[in-house]
């Protein structure tokens, strides 16, 4: 799991909301909150990787009880400083293994954060941890990209995702290990900076097997939060696995 000093420390937390502004826009937030509030019902929600509260805060305003787990104190300090942040419980720890008291109707992990777990074992542990927090009939929801390997011609392992006058971003892939890294180059005031973040990409079918190992079954899979059909052309998915007994 990425540690707060390595990839999500103060320098990243200070700019996170601004750098991810498109994910804080109402058309990105509201459909996700609609789905999660529906699944939570009268129960509680657990956010794995709660960060600065992009979804936790609007869910809390809907009346859903929220608890979040995150490894980064710098990120959760931003959450606590926002209006309504004091209503959200936060536990500092690795969301793949950290347990919190109580039972939840829904646990969720969004915005590709599952890939911050850089080994298959850690991802399996995350599914088991989510299932352990759910009551009977509870759901685990994951939003994550579909690996974009079709953009890799033979002999190439790099795909750009942003090319601008002051910022360059590109991903590198190792298809043998399913490891990848996102690299960010920025130029500001005539000075350059470089940041690299490791990930492990994962296929939908592999996630279904992880869910089965944790005692859950696939209930829904969509292209996105507005519940469009998932197809072979989808570049991301929102998947819902259910714990038996509801």
* pLDDT tens per residue, range 209-227: 999 999 999 999 999 999 9
The Cα–Cα gap between 71 and 111 comes to: 16
What structural domains does the chain harbor? 10-146+203-242 (3.40.50.150), 149-197 (2.20.25)
Residue among 243, 79, 75, 74 at smallest CA distance from 66: 79
Q: 154 pLDDT band (50/70/90 cuts)?
A: confident
Burial class from Cβ neighbours inside 10 Å (0-12, 13-18, 19+) for residue 37 reads middle
pLDDT at 1: 39
Percent of the chain with pLDDT over 70: 91
pLDDT tens for residues 52-97? Answer: 999 999 999 999 999 999 999 999 999 999 999 999 999 999 999 9
pLDDT tens for residues 27-45? Answer: 999 999 999 999 999 999 9
Percent of the chain with pLDDT over 90: 76
Average pLDDT in the chain: 91
Check residues 44 and 147 and name the one with the higher pLDDT: 44
Check residues 16 and 128 and name the one with the higher pLDDT: 128
Positive or negative torsion for Cα 119, 240, 22, 235: positive
Q: What is the mean pLDDT of residues 190-212?
A: 94
pLDDT at 14: 58
Name the strand (E) or helix (H) holding 213. Answer: helix 204-213
Check residues 13 and 152 and name the one with the higher pLDDT: 152
Q: 122 pLDDT band (50/70/90 cuts)?
A: very high
């Amino acid at each position: 799991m990425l540690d707060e000093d390595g990839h999500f420390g103060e320098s990243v937390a200070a700019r996170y909301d601004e750098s991810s502004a498109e994910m804080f826009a109402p058309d990105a937030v509201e459909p996700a909150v609609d789905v999660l509030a529906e699944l939570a019902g009268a129960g509680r929600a657990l956010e794995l990787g709660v960060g600065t509260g992009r979804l936790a805060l609007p869910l809390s305003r809907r009346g859903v009880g929220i608890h979040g787990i995150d490894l980064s104190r710098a990120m959760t300090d931003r959450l606590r400083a926002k209006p309504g942040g004091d209503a959200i419980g936060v536990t500092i720890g690795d969301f793949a293994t950290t347990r919190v008291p109580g039972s939840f109707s829904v646990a969720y992990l969004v915005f590709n954060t599952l890939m911050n777990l850089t080994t298959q074992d850690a991802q399996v542990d995350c599914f088991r941890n989510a299932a352990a927090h759910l009551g009977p009939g509870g759901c685990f929801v994951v939003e994550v990209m579909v690996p974009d390997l079709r953009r890799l011609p033979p002999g190439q392992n790099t795909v750009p995702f942003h090319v601008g006058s002051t910022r360059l971003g590109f991903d590198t892939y190792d298809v043998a290990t399913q490891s990848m890294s996102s690299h960010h180059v920025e130029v500001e005031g005539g000075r350059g900076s470089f940041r690299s973040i490791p990930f492990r990409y994962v296929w939908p079918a592999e996630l279904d097997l992880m869910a089965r190992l944790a005692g859950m079954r696939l209930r829904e899979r969509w292209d996105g939060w507005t519940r469009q059909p998932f197809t072979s052309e989808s570049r991301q998915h929102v998947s819902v696995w259910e714990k038996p007994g509801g």
